[in-house]
């Protein structure tokens, strides 16, 4: 198509002329590489049929004089509409076929305005919650595209990130809690629940609950407890924000940090309790690391509703982190420690972490998982939100992965 300005990663709404002079389909697109003089490839995905074919002439007859020429030009030649013209076209198409609103909700001009009006503190809390939910979906191996459809209600301030998800995924938090009533810690957290959602495919179901004690703007982040029901194992991820270091032009995390020191002390207390359970009892419960506590350092998370990318951070086991707290080569010129991409050396990235957790090479053993209730209580005593994600194999899978392992014949 004719070349156009804009980021190659930014989403584009594409209306398709499937029959002469009529819009019959819509899709989401991204700009590809240039494909000749003044031309660029346009990659289309998620192509959908519009219930009612919309004639160009009908659109133009309804368009105001202010935007008529812009819409007419793009209909004739193709191209990208200016923002105000797109807003008018959006309203015109939805007026003709209200079903399109559900397809385009995340591109609604009112959505952008609502998000901007939430304010910096609320958006920061929502961004932390989204990162945790996004991580849980990656760990479970479930499509993360539903997060792109997140749209807060225009009339109310959301209590949690889950509230803005499509209704197809939202569930009553108390209903999910009832479904998971045997899960340790849920009775304690039940009065604090502020949202629930379920994501699933043909093999896996992921139930997500969000709990907090404070209003959105007063929250100090979000922790993720991810429970792998296949292997009866859980991990906890604590997110810590790195800041830009102007002297190094890199993101760093400074140590010591009083809040993190207190949180690690609580982890250590829990770890002592966990170790009394004795660890793995057989080869199926074996873990490369039975320590379920992880710290993820990442640049400060901002709310990006049109992205499902995870923050490009660094995961550390709690045991690994202890070396970062005392290794002398991380000491900066003023005597404090600086941890950054440029000096940390070995770390676990998003892909490696997902593999380790998905296959339970790290995390608690079944006997230790019963202690998750104490962990829930510890987190809820802070100002953070708790994202509790429980992954289970669907009932139609007659045998779990563990059953298959137990029944497999030797080589």
The string of pLDDT tens digits covering residues 319-357 is: 999 999 999 999 887 788 889 998 999 999 999 999 999
* Per-residue model confidence as pLDDT tens digits over 117-172: 888 999 999 999 999 999 999 999 999 988 988 988 877 778 889 988 988 899 99
Separation of alpha carbons 124 and 209, rounded Å: 19
Structure tokens at 182: 């045997």
- By CB atoms closer than 10 A (0-12, 13-18, 19+), residue 400 is middle
What pLDDT, on the 0 to 100 scale, is given for residue 398? 40
H/E element holding 19? Answer: strand 12-19
Average pLDDT over residues 297-316: 91
Separation of alpha carbons 198 and 209, rounded Å: 9
Average pLDDT over residues 104-124: 83
What pLDDT, on the 0 to 100 scale, is given for residue 9? 60
Separation of alpha carbons 310 and 298, rounded Å: 10
What pLDDT, on the 0 to 100 scale, is given for residue 132? 95
Angle, helices 120-140 vs 350-358, to 10°: value is 50
Rounded to a whole number of angstroms, the CA Rg of the chain reads 25
For residue 304, which of 155, 126, 141, 162 has the smallest C-alpha distance? 126
Tokens 């959908």 — which residue?
48
Residue 109 has pLDDT above 50, yes or no: yes
Structure tokens at 236: 């906890």
Average pLDDT over residues 300-308: 88
Average pLDDT over residues 400-410: 47
84/383: higher pLDDT: 84
What pLDDT, on the 0 to 100 scale, is given for residue 404? 46
Separation of alpha carbons 118 and 152, rounded Å: 10
Q: Is the CB of residue 372 less than 8 Å from the CB of residue 225? A: yes
Separation of alpha carbons 337 and 183, rounded Å: 40
Residue 217 has pLDDT above 80, yes or no: yes
Q: What is the pTM of this model?
A: 0.80
What pLDDT, on the 0 to 100 scale, is given for residue 397? 46
Structure tokens at 243: 């800041």
* Per-residue model confidence as pLDDT tens digits over 243-296: 987 766 689 999 999 989 988 998 898 888 888 887 888 998 999 998 999 999
- By CB atoms closer than 10 A (0-12, 13-18, 19+), residue 1 is middle
- By CB atoms closer than 10 A (0-12, 13-18, 19+), residue 52 is middle
* Per-residue model confidence as pLDDT tens digits over 11-49: 788 899 888 899 999 888 887 777 777 788 888 888 888
């Amino acid at each position: 198509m004719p070349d156009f300005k804009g980021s190659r990663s930014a989403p584009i709404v594409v209306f398709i002329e499937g029959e002469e002079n009529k819009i019959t389909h819509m899709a989401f697109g991204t700009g590809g590489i240039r494909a000749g003089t003044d031309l660029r490839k346009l990659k289309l995905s998620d192509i959908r049929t519009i219930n009612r074919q919309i004639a160009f002439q009908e659109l133009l007859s309804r368009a105001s004089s202010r935007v008529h020429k812009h819409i007419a030009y793009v209909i004739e030649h193709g191209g990208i509409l200016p923002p105000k013209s797109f807003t008018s076209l959006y309203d015109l198409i939805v007026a003709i076929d209200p079903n399109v609103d559900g397809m385009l909700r995340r591109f609604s001009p009112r959505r952008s305005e609502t998000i901007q009006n939430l304010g910096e503190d609320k958006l920061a809390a929502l961004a932390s919650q989204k990162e945790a939910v996004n991580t849980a979906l990656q760990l479970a191996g479930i499509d993360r595209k539903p997060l792109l459809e997140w749209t807060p209600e225009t009339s109310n301030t959301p209590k949690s990130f889950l509230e803005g998800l499509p209704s197809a995924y939202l569930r009553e938090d108390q209903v999910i809690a009832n479904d998971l009533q045997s899960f340790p810690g849920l009775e304690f957290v039940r009065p604090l629940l502020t949202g629930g959602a379920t994501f699933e495919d043909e093999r896996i179901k992921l139930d997500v609950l969000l709990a907090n004690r404070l209003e959105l703007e007063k929250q100090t982040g979000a922790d993720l407890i991810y429970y792998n029901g296949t292997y009866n194992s859980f991990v906890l991820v604590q997110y810590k924000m790195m800041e830009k270091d102007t002297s190094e032009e890199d993101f760093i995390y400074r140590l010591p940090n009083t809040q993190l020191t207190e949180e690690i002390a609580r982890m250590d207390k829990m770890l002592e309790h966990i170790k009394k359970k004795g660890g793995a009892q057989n080869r199926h419960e074996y873990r490369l690391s039975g320590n379920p506590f992880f710290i993820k350092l990442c640049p400060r998370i901002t709310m990006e509703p049109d992205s499902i990318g995870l923050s490009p951070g660094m995961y550390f086991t709690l045991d690994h982190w202890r070396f970062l707290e005392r290794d002398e080569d991380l000491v900066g010129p003023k005597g404090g420690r600086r941890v950054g991409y440029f000096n940390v050396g070995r770390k676990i990235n998003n892909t490696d972490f997902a593999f380790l957790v998905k296959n339970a090479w790290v995390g608690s053993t079944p006997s230790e998982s019963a202690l998750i209730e104490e962990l829930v209580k510890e987190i809820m005593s802070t100002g953070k939100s708790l994202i509790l994600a429980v992954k289970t194999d669907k009932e139609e899978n007659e045998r779990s992965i563990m059953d298959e392992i137990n029944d497999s014949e030797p080589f």
